[in-house]
């Protein structure tokens, strides 16, 4: 099966698991543009790629950045597997429960442990998907490690868990778990 065929199958599976699931273009969405402006202010310009590079699940919708159109099918699959984790979290925790945990607990900026826990679960799936779809060399790529660690410790997610060594230890343990199974 080609990556494009696998992507089409996965999208059908998402539709079946989450009736009402929709893909939305961020660039033309007023809510996404408002979030982009707020993030630029909150991070003093540190998060300036929300519309162009970040995928966002809100309710039954996955808001896509402008880069989605040129993203290779394998990368789309990896991203969709990550985002499916968030869709399942929303179903498990309810929309309001997920929003409270993700946005506020215990703090919205700096020590957002709730957001970090939810993202650790989703990034574990990113790593699993990377191994399955791109192989061990891609999983071991130091650039992937740095990109994921930076998501937790930098402005992209409002410095949700600024303890770099702890995030690196989580990453390394997850890598070992995947490679030993």
- pLDDT (tens digit per residue) in 91-135: 999 999 999 998 888 888 888 999 999 999 999 999 999 999 999
Is residue 80 within 8 A of residue 14, CB to CB? The reply is: yes
Q: Are strands 56-58 and 61-64 parallel, antiparallel or unpaired?
A: antiparallel
Q: What percent of the chain has pLDDT over 90?
A: 77
What is the per-residue pLDDT for 122?
A: 97
Adjacent-strand bridge partners of 63? 24, 56
With 90 as the cut, is the pLDDT of residue 88 above it?
A: yes
Q: Among positive and negative, which fits the CA dihedral 53, 119, 5, 21?
A: negative
- pLDDT (tens digit per residue) in 29-71: 999 999 899 889 988 888 898 998 889 999 899 999 988 999 9
In this structure, the number of other CB atoms found within 10 A of the CB of residue 139 comes to 19
What is the per-residue pLDDT for 109?
A: 83
With 90 as the cut, is the pLDDT of residue 73 above it?
A: yes
Decide: residue 33, CB within 10 A, 0-12 exposed, 13-18 middle, 19+ buried. Answer: middle
What is the per-residue pLDDT for 181?
A: 84
- Which positions ≥6 away from 112 have C-beta within 8 Å? 102, 105, 106, 157, 158, 159, 160, 161
- What three-state secondary structure class fits 114? helix
- Which positions ≥6 away from 174 have C-beta within 8 Å? 123, 124, 127
What is the per-residue pLDDT for 104?
A: 87
């Amino acid at each position: 099966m080609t990556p494009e065929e696998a992507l089409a199958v996965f999208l059908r599976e998402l539709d079946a698991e989450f009736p009402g699931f929709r893909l939305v273009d961020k660039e033309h969405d007023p809510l996404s543009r408002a979030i982009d402006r707020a993030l630029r202010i909150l991070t003093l310009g540190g998060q300036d790629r929300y519309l162009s590079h970040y995928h966002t699940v809100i309710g039954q919708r996955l808001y896509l950045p402008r880069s989605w159109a040129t993203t290779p099918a394998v990368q789309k699959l990896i991203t969709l597997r990550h985002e499916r984790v968030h869709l399942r979290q929303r179903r498990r925790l309810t929309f309001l429960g997920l929003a409270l945990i993700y946005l506020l607990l215990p703090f919205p900026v700096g020590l957002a442990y709730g957001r970090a826990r939810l993202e650790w679960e989703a990034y574990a799936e990113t790593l699993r998907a990377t191994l399955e779809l791109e192989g061990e060399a891609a999983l071991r790529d130091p650039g992937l490690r740095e990109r994921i660690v930076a998501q937790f410790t930098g402005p992209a997610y409002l410095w949700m868990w600024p303890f770099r060594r702890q995030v690196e230890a989580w990453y390394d343990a997850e890598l070992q778990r995947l490679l030993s199974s």
